[in-house]
Amino acid sequence: MKQRPFLSRQFGRSKALHALPFFFLCFLLQIAHAEEIKSPNSNLTLTFALQEGGVPTYKLTYKGRDVIKPSKLGLELTNTTSLTDGFTQTNATRRAIDESWQPVWGEVKTIRNHYNELTVTLAQAASSRTMKVRFRVFDDGLGFRYEFERQPKLDYFVIKEERTQFALAGDHKAFWLPGDYDTQEYSTVTSQLSEVRGKMKAAVTQNASQTTFSPTGLQTPLMLKSKDGLYINIHEAALIDYSCMSLELDDKNFVLESHLTPDARGDKGYIQTPATSPWRTVIVSDKAGDILESKLVLNLNEPTKYKDTSWIKPVKYVGVWWEMITGKSSWSYTNLENIKLDSVDYSKTKPNGTHGANTAHVKEYIDFAAKHGFDAVLVEGWNTGWEDWFGKSKDYVFDFVTAYPDFDVQELHRYAASKNVKIIMHHETSGSVRNYERHLDKAYQFMVDNGYNAVKSGYVGDIIPRGEHHYGQWLNNHYLYTITKAADYKIMVNAHEAVRPTGLARTYPNLIGNEAARGTEYESFGGNNADHTTILPFTRLIGGPMDYTPGIFQTRVSAYNPQNTSFVHSTLARQLALYVTMYSPLQMAADLPETYNKFLDAFQFIKDVAVDWDDTKVLEAEPGDYITIARKAKGKSSWFVGSTCDENGRTSSINLNFLDPGLSYVATVYADGKNAHYEKNPQAYAIRTVKVTNKTKLKQLCAPGGGYAISIVPSGTAR
């Protein structure tokens, strides 16, 4: 690389410079400490500079428009000089990378990793320390992180707060969740940034059991839209051995600043060098669909750590779950509460008659899965202890290996295997993390011995030890420990109530699913907003797939539990669309078999739709309003389209030019029926078939809270 002259290197040897006016010297020195790098397509420009006092800053522009105005960088440390100012630049290196890689599972077969990189080395004279800031500029955005080499004056440090800023260019429209250390299970609020403070109280009280750390604290991924039409997404990638980042909003100047999750003592992180922070990410485009198609977060994670990934397979499943969520069945075997696990004899305890995870009932689910070609059956409430937990006993814990007397582990293992169906294990930790870790090897070995190769883990409730948070460094290390330990046993993990994903599934692809957002279960707890599924792909799904558990056909919960007046804020047709728009390699048909048996024509789409993909195209998108996505099934010529819209309804217009030219296809359209409406007439749907080619353009009416799904197969191809 050809380097430009470095003025400060010549400064002491040039008498001519001594003759220049002082203010001009300052200007030259400032230029000397400015570095610029562009994206491969030159649309994005990243500029790094040291401001007065040696304060590191960066700015980002897109096609000449401000995305991030000059923003400060650095970390505030505990009981020592902070890494926020007093720096001089000692080095700057550049490189360009253009490579491709294939995910173990994903939305596309091949991902291009193409970026220009700038790494700046900074020295702090007051502490004799150095810090690097590494920037990677892709065509779709920016990633940057802090790096700390092992050094005598910085071998170990405690983070008081990270001081990374994102200075925005205006009062953007935002799709936000209240800042919280323990949950993302809020309804998304759509407002201008200037309105966040006024809307925060209502956003929190909507979920009365939850709290926010600040009246202007926001979670990531944070989706924004500027008044001049720029779509901006701020998040993080590769969250390892570090606390999760939220954002504190200065709603007067529209500056966001990082806010890390604290531990029980209030510290934000314990760092042993050499070390790196997670990447801070900014995805940007003037097209909303580009945000959904971005692979920036995945590209900033390391390649898979596993030599053999043949045991990691996408899964389509049914399960004993929704019936408990609605209140039709129970997790617990008996109605006793506050019992002590070391004294109760369940074989002599009277059953409550509503326990869902009993042998005969689970066999019914296995039969249904086998008949319709599903891979697995999830069973929750199979193990002892649920009465104790629901009773809020002080000593509630699970051992993850002891079944209730009506759940025959060996018989169900035999029966499922005979039907070529797997059972998915459920581990509810009750937030007792150390207890789970103590039992982990035994629990995973129990799974291997009984034919389970996937587990849904849960972290409901306050974390034990008390004072730790779901998104703190200690818990983030625990989540990764469970994933790597599971890999030793060739087990896939679907973690619920864990930290929001940051692309780690690239490195650890047995992390096949996460919740970390307000999922379908809330449709039984009062309901999700009708625009919910038009926002989640722009926010929660930026970091990785979500186990959203779609496919609810009986949208009136009272049909299962007369005391529950909730309803699913969606038409039946949109429930089908979610299998395409809400990406996950782990997809559940969440409703009950008896309900699907009443709608087998619509259920056909769930049977047909793939869970792993060779290609993905975003056909229409506007956050909060609508999303239409087309995906090509892995190793096949079939395509599937899904479209979801908000409470207003709309007419969708799509072009099928992504189909192979010269071929004819049969499209089966599952659409909202006449007068369909997510509140008034949710089960109205219509199915039609049409012949299409890559020249076909389709229009389809979407009902309020509705949508449509299409399966497209080459003519003559059997289902």
Q: pLDDT tens across 183-204, in order?
A: 999 999 999 999 999 999 999 9
Calpha distance 581→578 (Å, rounded): 5
Give me the count of residues in the chain.
719
Query: Known catalytic residue: 521?
Result: yes
pLDDT of amino acid 31 = 43
Name the band, by pLDDT with cuts 50, 70 and 90, for residue 210. Answer: low
Domain 315-609 top-level CATH class: alpha beta
Calpha distance 255→171 (Å, rounded): 10
Q: Of the candidates 387, 369, 473, 377, which has an alpha carbon nearest to the alpha carbon of residue 423?
A: 377
Cα separations in angstroms, 29 against 36, 71, 140, 691: 15, 19, 32, 67
* Cα dihedral: 391, 397, 400, 404 (round 10): -30
Calpha distance 490→631 (Å, rounded): 29
pLDDT of amino acid 17 = 39
Calpha distance 370→198 (Å, rounded): 52
Calpha distance 481→488 (Å, rounded): 11
Q: Which residue has 């078939």 as its token pair?
A: 689
Calpha distance 396→464 (Å, rounded): 11
> Tokens representing 97?
């990378």
The share of the chain scoring above pLDDT 90, in percent, equals: 88
Q: pLDDT tens across 644-695, in order?
A: 999 999 999 999 999 999 999 999 999 999 999 999 999 999 999 999 999 9
User: Average of pLDDT values for 201-221?
Assistant: 85
Calpha distance 379→383 (Å, rounded): 10
Instruction: Find the angle CA(323)-CA(572)-CA(590) to the nearest 5 degrees.
Output: 30
pLDDT of amino acid 466 = 83
**Would you say 362 and 416 are in contact if contact means Cβ atoms under 8 Å apart?**
no
Calpha distance 570→593 (Å, rounded): 19
Helices (H), 419-571: 433-449, 473-488
Contacts of 202 (CB under 8 A, 6+ apart): none
**Would you say 333 and 352 are in contact if contact means Cβ atoms under 8 Å apart?**
yes
SS3 195: helix
Tell me what the pLDDT averaged over the chain comes to.
93
Q: How many CB atoms lie within 10 A of CB 460?
A: 12
Calpha distance 214→251 (Å, rounded): 12
Q: pLDDT tens across 355-404, in order?
A: 999 999 999 999 999 999 999 999 999 999 888 776 555 556 789 999 99
Strand ranges (E), 183-332: 189-192, 217-218, 222-225, 231-237, 245-250, 255-260, 269-272, 275-276, 279-285, 315-320
Q: How many CB atoms lie within 10 A of CB 642?
A: 29
CB-side exposure of 304: number of CA atoms within 13 Å?
18
Q: Comparing 209 with 327, which gets the higher pLDDT?
A: 327
What are the beta bridge partners of residue 44? 62
Q: pLDDT tens across 95-147, in order?
A: 999 999 999 999 999 999 999 999 999 999 999 999 999 999 999 999 999 99
Q: Is pLDDT at 27 greater than 90 in this prediction?
A: no
Name the band, by pLDDT with cuts 50, 70 and 90, for residue 211. Answer: confident
**Would you say 641 and 241 are in contact if contact means Cβ atoms under 8 Å apart?**
no
pLDDT of amino acid 336 = 77
Please report, for the chain, the start and end positions of each structural domain, with discontinuous segments joined by +.
1-32, 33-299, 315-609
Bond before 274 cis per omega within 30 degrees: yes
Q: Of the candidates 333, 354, 334, 326, which has an alpha carbon nearest to the alpha carbon of residue 563?
A: 326
pLDDT of amino acid 11 = 29
Q: pLDDT tens across 405-461, in order?
A: 999 999 999 999 999 999 999 999 999 999 999 999 999 999 999 999 999 999 998
Calpha distance 425→427 (Å, rounded): 7
Q: Is pLDDT at 559 greater than 80 in this prediction?
A: yes
Q: Is pLDDT at 9 greater than 80 in this prediction?
A: no
List 162, 236, 380, 521, catalytic entry: 521
pLDDT of amino acid 84 = 98
Q: Beta 231-237 vs 222-225: how paired, if at all?
A: antiparallel
pLDDT of amino acid 205 = 81
The share of the chain scoring above pLDDT 70, in percent, equals: 92
Q: Of the candidates 577, 555, 550, 553, which has an alpha carbon nearest to the alpha carbon of residue 706?
A: 577
The fold adopted by the segment(s) 33-299 is Beta-galactosidase; Chain A, domain 5 (2.70.98)
pLDDT of amino acid 12 = 34
What are the beta bridge partners of residue 111? 101
Q: Of the candidates 56, 280, 271, which has an alpha carbon nearest to the alpha carbon of residue 160?
A: 271
Q: pLDDT tens across 174-183, in order?
A: 999 999 999 9
Q: Is pLDDT at 7 greater than 80 in this prediction?
A: no
Q: pLDDT tens across 313-340, in order?
A: 999 999 999 999 999 999 999 887 666 6
pLDDT of amino acid 387 = 83
**Would you say 613 and 106 are in contact if contact means Cβ atoms under 8 Å apart?**
yes
> Tokens representing 306?
């596993």
Instruction: Find the angle CA(505)-CA(510)-CA(514) to the nearest 5 degrees.
Output: 60
User: Average of pLDDT values for 262-274?
Assistant: 97
